[in-house]
Amino acid sequence: ENTDQNMNLVIAGHVDHGKSTIIGRLLADTDSLPKGKLADVKETCRRNSKPFEYAFLLDALKDEQDQGITIDSARVFFETDLRKYIILDAPGHIEFLKNMVTGAARAEAALLVIDADEGIQENSKRHCYMLSMLGIEQVSVLVNKMDLVDYDQDTFNQIVEDYTEFLEEIGMEADCFVPVSGLEGANIATLSDETPWYQGQTVLEVLDSFENQKLPEDKPFRMPVQDVYKFTRGGDDRRIVSGTIAAGQVSVGDEVVFYPSGKRSTVKSIEGFNRAKTDTIGPGFATGFTLDEQIFIKRGELATLADETEPEVTSRIKTNLFWLGKAPLSKNKEYQIKLGTAKVSARLEKIERVIDASNLSQSQEKDQVERHDVAQCVFKLNKAIAFDLATQFEKTSRFVVVDDYEIAGGGLVEEAIEDKQSWV
């Protein structure tokens, strides 16, 4: 087991279903609170004659962070024997979504909280849909407030059945379902006597069984070109092509092809930044390489290997996206699309369908995409870009839409549509 990696976690679900309470429990049950914090908060509640709530722990920590007392600001974390968990904001928040679509924050796994008494609600569905579009594949469902339904197994089973059906519709699968009570601490750190019919994992065990996501080494080599630096060595003009490897590996002597230009050359040396010199480098590393021949390539191209699968190259793409912009996505406006390091102008050409993520109802007739909608639509780009399809490799398929300098949407490319002319 890898113990030196943190895990970024999302806790999602409908409002009031118990997210903060469960986070408070996790903090308390893993002894991750600052010393005396639990007693402090309990004492404050007693003095104000209000009942203690685990959700208050979260508020108390946030207050502390606001005052700059805690170093690790704005993020809540707790620690198990295995690793440290960092809780990112809940996906209902627009800022969180923006961070996720831009890759500024990367969550690897999610807990989705559903109130056993109230049942599956709009956001129980919407959030999970978004998680799936954001590429978060490890999701476990906590059926919370089991105390309110007398820890009834049938109620739990019904939610499992209904929610599994919904997940199937969006092509997802939950790792597991856990009946819990955040209030009473049932099945969070230890299995509860109240649910003798449940012999599965506790929430902490579920968390520790999530896997840190590794970038694939066995995929074709992909490196979006970040920059090309010029330098002189031994009187020769040289260039280093730099970027972060998204997938695969590259070695000295490999023939690389850059797309969309199609230019090719051979890797002469691999320049590690702050790293020992190497002949082969794999995914996740910021790196640079020099080439045998001086070819002119630019930021925005995708570096690949000549003997591996080619990427898609086109200027018309069918996408699946969700829209966050205040102004709807419409046809009479120019947007920017950023994919990898490429940035191009884009126009919405066609809306194939708009999906309401909360109930999966579809509509074909819409002429614009409203905030929070998920849509399948076609964009025409002002020039060709190189990418992979979502079904092939998601990381080089993910893009964001910029509207007036603001991230307004994000999604994945589903289909490369052949296109010979650019619109200008």
The residues binding ligand GDP (CB under 6 A) are 13, 15-21, 53, 55, 144-145, 147-148, 181-183
Q: Is 15 exposed, middle or buried (0-12, 13-18, 19+ CB in 10 A)?
A: exposed
Shortest distance (Å) from residue 147 CB to ligand GDP: 5
Please, which residues have CB within 8 angstroms of residue 61's CB and are 6 or more apart in sequence?
A: 27, 33, 34, 37, 70, 76
Residue 340: CA atoms inside 13 Å, Cβ hemisphere, count?
A: 32
Shortest distance (Å) from residue 180 CB to ligand GDP: 7
Shortest distance (Å) from residue 232 CB to ligand GDP: 58
Shortest distance (Å) from residue 18 CB to ligand GDP: 3
DSSP code of 89? Answer: P
The token duo for 335 is 């947007």
Closest CA to 372 of 405, 326, 413, 338: 326
Shortest distance (Å) from residue 91 CB to ligand GDP: 12
Residue 84 neighbours by CB distance under 10 Å: 15
Between the alpha carbon of residue 149 and those of residues 193, 194, 232, 326, the distances in Å are: 15, 11, 73, 40
Shortest distance (Å) from residue 24 CB to ligand GDP: 7
Shortest distance (Å) from residue 359 CB to ligand GDP: 20
- Smaller CB separation from ligand GDP, 181 or 290: 181
CA 363 to chain centre: 26
Closest CA to 394 of 136, 135, 109: 135
- Smaller CB separation from ligand GDP, 180 or 225: 180
H helical segments located in 103-222:
122-133, 153-169, 203-209
- DSSP string over 225-255: EEEEEEEEETTEEEEEEEEE--BS-EETT-E
- DSSP string over 272-312: ESSS--BSEE-TT-EEEEEESS-----TT-EEEETTSPPPE
- Smaller CB separation from ligand GDP, 15 or 306: 15
- Smaller CB separation from ligand GDP, 144 or 304: 144
Shortest distance (Å) from residue 71 CB to ligand GDP: 25
- Smaller CB separation from ligand GDP, 53 or 356: 53
- Smaller CB separation from ligand GDP, 115 or 414: 115
Instruction: Note whether 267 and 251 are within 8 A (CB).
Output: yes
- Smaller CB separation from ligand GDP, 198 or 335: 198
- Smaller CB separation from ligand GDP, 17 or 83: 17
